[in-house]
Structure 1
C-alpha cells in the first residue's frame, strides 16, 4: 500500500484534513499518512527538513504521494527530495490535486491496494464532483467500461444520497472484488460511471430516493452485486432517512410570563410562534464595526488568516453548544471558509487594501448579491453574510462583542449568534429595525421564547429610554404609559392560560354560530402540537416535502398525510396540492427564472405542463381519503378552465370534498363560476392582499401596504362569501388574528385555519363574540386598514 504525505502551511488544517479523510475507511485499511505542516503548532509556514522526515516516515515500496496546499509548500517539498535517500525519492510523486478533496480520494483509493498511478489519478480528479454539481466545468467523462454481465437496481435511502462517506464505503467495497462495476442513475439518466472511482461516484450526484442501476462484469460480478445490495439496504452505513421536517420549524404550547431579575422589564407570551409584549429600557446596538483606529502592517494576510481561524473556533463552539441551531452555524462556517470569497479578499490585500477593508468590501458585495435574489428566504441570508463579516472585523480590530442584558435589545438586524447567546432571563425582548420573519436570528430568538418584533424601521430610540412593543398589533412605543403596558401583559397572560384550558371546547359564538377553527400544517409536528384544532384547514405539501432533492413517492406522501391525520385524531384535513413558484421553489421541480415570479407560473399553473407530479399527489390523497376525512384544494386558480382541468385530473371523487384557493382578485370576483362544481373555497388572504394592493409582501419598501385588513381586501372576501354558493374558509394570516377572526366570521366565513399556537386564542375570542353586533357595513366602508382596526 502506498504512503501519503500532507504538506501544509497550517498544522491545524493538515490534521483536520487527515482526520476527515481517515473517517472514510476502516482503521485497519488506512495507508500511512505523515504530516509536515506549520513551523510549530500555531505558526504558519513549511519546512523542507520536516517534509523530508515525513517522506521517510511514509515510505513504501509501492510509492509515496505528496499533497500540498500553497505555492511555497511545493518549493519545500521539492527541496526535501534533495535531502532524502535517492531510493526513497525515486518513487515519490508530488501532486497538484486539491488538498482536502484529493486527500479523501487518495486515502479511499489507496485503502484498496491501488497503484501509485491510480491513486494519483483519483486524487487529481477530486474536484470533479463539486465542479460538476456547481456547473464550474463540464462533467468529467466516465471511464470506459465493458458491457455488464448482470445488474441490480437499488433505491437510495440516504437523506443526502451518495455523499462523501457512503460513496467512500461503496468504492472500498467495489475495489475488493475482481469485477468491473458501474452505476447509472435512472432518475437523471446520468452514467454509467465507474463505481470503483470516488470522483466518478461523486459526479453521478445520486440523491435520496433515486433509483440506481448497479451493473457488473467479471469473475466476481455476482458477489459484488450481492454485497452492494446489502450495503444499499443498510443505507451505505448512514442512519436511515427519517422524513423529518426541515430544521428551523418550530411549534409549541404556552409559555409563562417572566420578569427580569432587576424588575425593570416584563414580557408576555403568545406560545410557540413567539412572544408578543415587552416593556423595558432600550439597549441599543449599532450596525457598523469601527475600523478607524486600525493600523495596517506588512503581514495583513497573516493577520486575516488568524482572525478567520479565531472566528471559526467561535462558530464551532456555538455549533457544538447550541445543537438545536447547529445547522445555522455550520452555514456560517461555510460562508467563512468559502474559497472564492477568500481568494477575492487575498487579491484585494495583495493590491494594497488593509485586511479589514478588503474583508468588508468583499462580504458587502456578497450580501448585496443575496439581497438581489428573487426568493425572499434567500434574500434574508444576506443577514448571515453580514454576521460573518462583522465577526471577523471585530476580531481584526480587537473589538469586544457586546452581551446586552436587562432591557429590550434594539438592533438593525439580528445575528443568530447574538440570539443564541443572550441571557433569556434578563433580556425582556428584541426589537429589530429590519422587516422579515425568516432571518436566522429571528428564528433562534423565537425558539428561545424571547419576545420579538421586527420591522420597527428608523424610529429614534435613545439608550436607556423606556420602550414597549406589542407584536400582535405591530405597535412600538417610546416612553409609553407603563401602567397600561403592564396591564396588557397581565391581561395577555390570563387570556392565554384560560384559552389553553378551554382549547378543546367548540367555538360557538354568543349568538349561536359554530365556527370550525383548524390548524395550518407545514410539518407533522404542527399537527402533533396543535391544541384544540378541529382538524387542518391547510396542509402545505410544498413545505412538508420542500427539503427533498427528489419528488416523494406516492407511498411516502400517503405515510406523511396519514401521520398528520392520526395526530389530529382523524379529524378532517384539507390537503393543498403543490403550491410552488414566486417565493416558494421546490428543489425537485426547477423553474425557469421569471422577471415577475409572483405573476408567473405559480401553483396549479405549473402542473398543466408537468402533470405527473400532481397525479402522484392526487393518488396519495385518494388513498388516504379511504381511511380518514380528507379534502383536497387546488392553489392559484384564476379561470374556470383551470378548475375543469384539475377536476379532470382528479377523476372520480368517491366522497372526497374538493375546493380551490381564492388568492387573486379575478378568482374572487368570478367565484360563482369557479365554485359551480366544488364543495368549498378557501381564501388565502396573504396572496389576495398582495395582489389587491399591488404590494410584494416580501419587499420591505412596500410591505406595509400589504395589509389584510385593507377594506378593499375585506370587500373581496365579502363578495366571495355572498356569491360562492359553497362553504367558505380562510387559511391566510387573517385567520390567526383573533380580532380579525371575529370579523371574518361576521362576514359569513364558517371555517378558519390558523397557526397552531393561535388556535386556542382564536376559539376563545369567537366564544366571546356576538356576530350580530359586528358592524360589517362600517368595516367594509372604512377609509383604510387603520380605521378598520379602530372599529375592531
Structure 2
C-alpha cells in the first residue's frame, strides 16, 4: 500500500484534512499518512527537512504520494527530494491535486491497494464531483466504461445520498473484487460511471430514494454485485439519521385562556462590571451561545435552518470586527455588542420588504442571547403555566417552550412571518399577534380568540371555556372526517387543497384533495444556484407521492425585489411591490422559466399537474407565457389573479386558459393600498373588505373557466363558505386548516348565503356580521 504525505503551511489545517480523510476508511485499511506542516504548532510556513522526514516515515515500496497546499509548500517538497536517497526519491510523486478533496480520494483509493498511478489519477480528479454538481467547470474527460455483463438495481436509502463516506465505502467494496463495476442513476439518467472511482461516484450525485443500476463484469462480477446489494441494504454503512423526537405540541386551537406570564424585552446589565479581559469574555460568551444554537439546530429538525441563520448572525464577520474594535477602544463587551446589534436590527427594520423587516427579531434574539451569556443569566424558556405575553417572540423561545404547560402566546408586536411565530404555530401553540400596548398585570387572567381578533383581560371565563370546548370538539371531528369530500348541504362539492412551501407540508396534511399552490420559490429559496430540471422534477415527484397522486398546481417562480431568490439577483427598486415581480422578471431571464416548465412537463407525464403563472397584468403576458410553455399535451394552464387590473379584465386574460386562481393576499393589499406587514395600515388590508369581494365576484362571473382561491381567505372556514357561495370551486388552504374548512363547508347551505347583502356591505366588519 502506498504512503501519503501532506505538506501545508498550517499544522491545524493539515491535521484536520487528515482527520477528515481518515474517517472515510476503516482504521485497519488506512495507508500511512504523514504530515509536514507549519514551522511549529502555531506558526505558518513549510520546512524542506520536515518534508523529507515525513516522506521517510511514510515510505513504501509501492510509492509515496505528496499532496501540497500552495506556494512555498511546492518548493519545500521539491527541495526535500534532494535530501532523500535516490531509491526513495525515485518513487515519490508530487501532485497538483486539491489538498482536501484530493487527500480524501487518495486515502480511499490507496486503502484498496491500488497502484501509485491509480491513486494519483483519483486524487487529481478530486474536484470533478464538486464541479459537476455546481456546473462551474466542464467535467474532465472520462474513459468509457466497460459494458456490464449483468446488473442489479438498488435504492439509495441514505438521508443525504451517496455523499463522501458512503461513496468511499462503496468504492472500497468494489475494488476488493476482480470485477469492473458501473453505476447508473435511473432517476436522473446519469451514468454509467466507474464505481471503483470515488470522483466518478461523486459526479453521479445519487440522492436518497434514487434507483441505481449496478452493472458488473469480470471473474468476480457475481460476488461484487452481491456485496453491493448487501452494502446498499445497510445504507452503505451510514447510520440512520436520528430524528429529534417531536416537540410536545399544543392544542392547535385558535382560542386560549390562562394567567398572564409576562416576559420582558431586555437583559438587565446593571450589575455587569467591566474587567481587563473584555475580549476574552466576549469570546467565551460567543462560544457558549454557538453551542446553544447548534443544540437547538440539531434538536429541532423541522426548523433547524432558523437556528443555522442565528449562527450566521452570531458569526457575522463585519459586525464582530466592529464589536472588537469598540472593545479595544475601551467599551465593555455588553455595550459594544448591544450597540452593534441594535444598529443591525435598525438596518433590517428599514427595509421595504415586510418579511425582511421581521428579521430584525432574529437579530435581537441573538443580541439578547449573547448578553445573557455575558451576565450569566439563564436563557431558559418560561416554565410557568398560562399565556405568555411577550413584546416579540424569538424562535428559540418558541422552540423550547413546554407546549403542554403554555396555554397560548400573545405577542404585542404585529406581524405573522416572524420566525418565532412560525415555530410556535407549527407546534400547535395557540397564538395571537398585534395586541399592542394593552396593560396586562402579571398573573391576571387573559384570553384571546384569533377568529374574532379579540384579546381580553379578566374575561368571562365560562364563555371562553365553552368556546374552547366547542372548538376542540370541532377540530377533532373535522380531522376524523378529513378524507370525506366537502359537499355542502345543497349538493355542491368544493375541492379543498393544500398550499405547499416544503415537501413536508404535503406529507403532514390530512384530507387535502391535492395541492392548489406549490410555491416553487420557497421550495428552492435556499439555493445559491438555480436548481436543475432533474432536481425540480424530483421535488415535484415527492410532493405528488405525498399527496397520493392527486392533482398538484405548480406556480412558476414568483419572485421580485420584495422577495428575491439568491440565484437571481435583482436591482434595488424604489417600490418593489410595484416593480418586476412574478412573470415580469422572466421576460428578461426566460431560460430559468423554460427549465422550470420542462420540469413541470416531465412531472405531468407521470402524475396530474397544473401550471400557474403569477403576477399577470396583460393578455400579452399570457400569450408570451403560453408561447414559452409550448404544446400543452393535456397539461392544464392557469394564471394568478392578484391585482385589480387582472380581475377586471379576466375575461380577456382567461380566453385560452383552463382556470384562474385568486391570490387574495396581494389582491387585498393592491385594492386597499395597504401593506399587510405594515402595522400602521395592516388593519385596512382585510380580505373581507367588500371591494375585494366585489372583484372576486367579478372574476367568478366573467372568467369563463373554473376559479380557485389560494390566498389566506381560503384558510378561514367562515370566509371559505362565502367564497364557495360566490362560485369559487377550489380552495387552497394551509395544511392544518384543511379539515376545518372541509367540515365547515359540509355544514353550509350555499343557497342561504346572502351574497347580495355581503357585496353591498359597508365594510369588512359588517360582512362578518352578515356571515
Interval containing the TM-score (normalised by the shorter chain)? 0.7 to 0.9
- 1:28-177 aligned within 5 A: 28=30, 64-66=38-40, 68=42, 113-114=66-67, 118=71, 120=73, 169=104
Pick closer, same or farther for the CA change 1:17–1:734 going to 2, 3 Å: farther
The residue number in structure 1 matching 2:609 is: 630
How much has 1:364 moved relative to structure 2?
A: 1.3
Pick closer, same or farther for the CA change 1:568–1:345 going to 2, 3 Å: closer
More divergent stretch after superposition (204-213 vs 408-417): 204-213
Deviation by residue 1:224-274 (Cα, 9 ceiling, x = unmatched): x9889932443379984679xxxxxxxxxx999x9xxxxxxxx742xxxxx
How much has 1:719 moved relative to structure 2?
A: 1.3
Aligned to 1:681, which of 644, 655, 660?
A: 660
Aligned to 1:467, which of 429, 442, 446?
A: 446
Q: State the number of aligned residues.
A: 643
Deviation by residue 1:546-568 (Cα, 9 ceiling, x = unmatched): 33333333344334334433433
- 1:637-648 aligned within 5 A: 637-648=616-627
SS at 1:281 equivalent:
strand
Deviation by residue 1:179-234 (Cα, 9 ceiling, x = unmatched): 99999xxxxxxxxxxx8699xx69x98584527424489xxxxxxx9889932443
The residue number in structure 2 matching 1:344 is: 322
Is 1:554 aligned to residue 533 of structure 2?
A: yes
The residue number in structure 2 matching 1:788 is: 767
Aligned counterparts of 1:575 and 1:700: Cα–Cα separation in 2: 31
Is 1:210 aligned to residue 184 of structure 2?
A: no
How much has 1:299 moved relative to structure 2?
A: 2.5
Aligned counterparts of 1:400 and 1:25: Cα–Cα separation in 2: 39
Aligned counterparts of 1:64 and 1:508: Cα–Cα separation in 2: 75
How much has 1:505 moved relative to structure 2?
A: 2.2
Aligned counterparts of 1:210 and 1:680: Cα–Cα separation in 2: 37
Aligned to 2:19, which of 18, 22, 33?
A: 22
How much has 1:4 moved relative to structure 2?
A: 7.5
The residue number in structure 2 matching 1:397 is: 375
The residue number in structure 2 matching 1:541 is: 520
Pick closer, same or farther for the CA change 1:762–1:178 going to 2, 3 Å: same
Pick closer, same or farther for the CA change 1:231–1:472 going to 2, 3 Å: farther
Deviation by residue 1:724-764 (Cα, 9 ceiling, x = unmatched): 22221111110111000111111121221112221111111
Aligned to 1:444, which of 423, 427, 450?
A: 423
The residue number in structure 2 matching 1:354 is: 332
Pick closer, same or farther for the CA change 1:568–1:462 going to 2, 3 Å: same
Pick closer, same or farther for the CA change 1:411–1:622 going to 2, 3 Å: same
Contact 1:320/1:326, CA 8 A, preserved across alignment: yes
Structural RMSD (CA)? 4.0
The residue number in structure 2 matching 1:285 is: 263
The residue number in structure 2 matching 1:234 is: 201
The residue number in structure 1 matching 2:752 is: 773
The residue number in structure 2 matching 1:45 is: none
Is 1:721 aligned to residue 700 of structure 2?
A: yes
Pick closer, same or farther for the CA change 1:609–1:21 going to 2, 3 Å: same
Contact 2:7/2:67, CA 8 A, preserved across alignment: no
- 1:495-514 aligned within 5 A: 495-514=474-493
More divergent stretch after superposition (174-183 vs 297-306): 174-183
Aligned counterparts of 1:771 and 1:281: Cα–Cα separation in 2: 41
- 1:587-736 aligned within 5 A: 587-736=566-715
Contact 2:651/2:702, CA 8 A, preserved across alignment: yes
Aligned to 2:459, which of 480, 486, 498?
A: 480
Aligned counterparts of 2:610 and 2:7: Cα–Cα separation in 1: 64
Contact 1:166/1:237, CA 8 A, preserved across alignment: no
Aligned to 1:412, which of 380, 385, 391?
A: 391
Contact 2:516/2:710, CA 8 A, preserved across alignment: yes
SS at 1:113 equivalent:
strand
More divergent stretch after superposition (693-702 vs 167-176): 167-176
Contact 1:207/1:549, CA 8 A, preserved across alignment: no
Aligned counterparts of 1:389 and 1:698: Cα–Cα separation in 2: 23
Aligned counterparts of 1:585 and 1:170: Cα–Cα separation in 2: 38
Contact 2:14/2:37, CA 8 A, preserved across alignment: no
SS at 2:138 equivalent:
strand
More divergent stretch after superposition (518-527 vs 311-320): 311-320
Pick closer, same or farther for the CA change 1:618–1:321 going to 2, 3 Å: closer
Contact 1:166/1:238, CA 8 A, preserved across alignment: no
Aligned counterparts of 2:646 and 2:68: Cα–Cα separation in 1: 68
Contact 2:507/2:547, CA 8 A, preserved across alignment: yes
Deviation by residue 1:493-542 (Cα, 9 ceiling, x = unmatched): 11111112222222222222222222222233333333222222222222
Contact 1:4/1:66, CA 8 A, preserved across alignment: no
Is 1:311 aligned to residue 289 of structure 2?
A: yes
Aligned to 1:522, which of 468, 480, 501?
A: 501
Contact 1:660/1:682, CA 8 A, preserved across alignment: yes
Aligned counterparts of 1:722 and 1:589: Cα–Cα separation in 2: 38
Pick closer, same or farther for the CA change 1:331–1:170 going to 2, 3 Å: farther
Aligned counterparts of 2:345 and 2:208: Cα–Cα separation in 1: 33
Aligned counterparts of 1:716 and 1:594: Cα–Cα separation in 2: 28
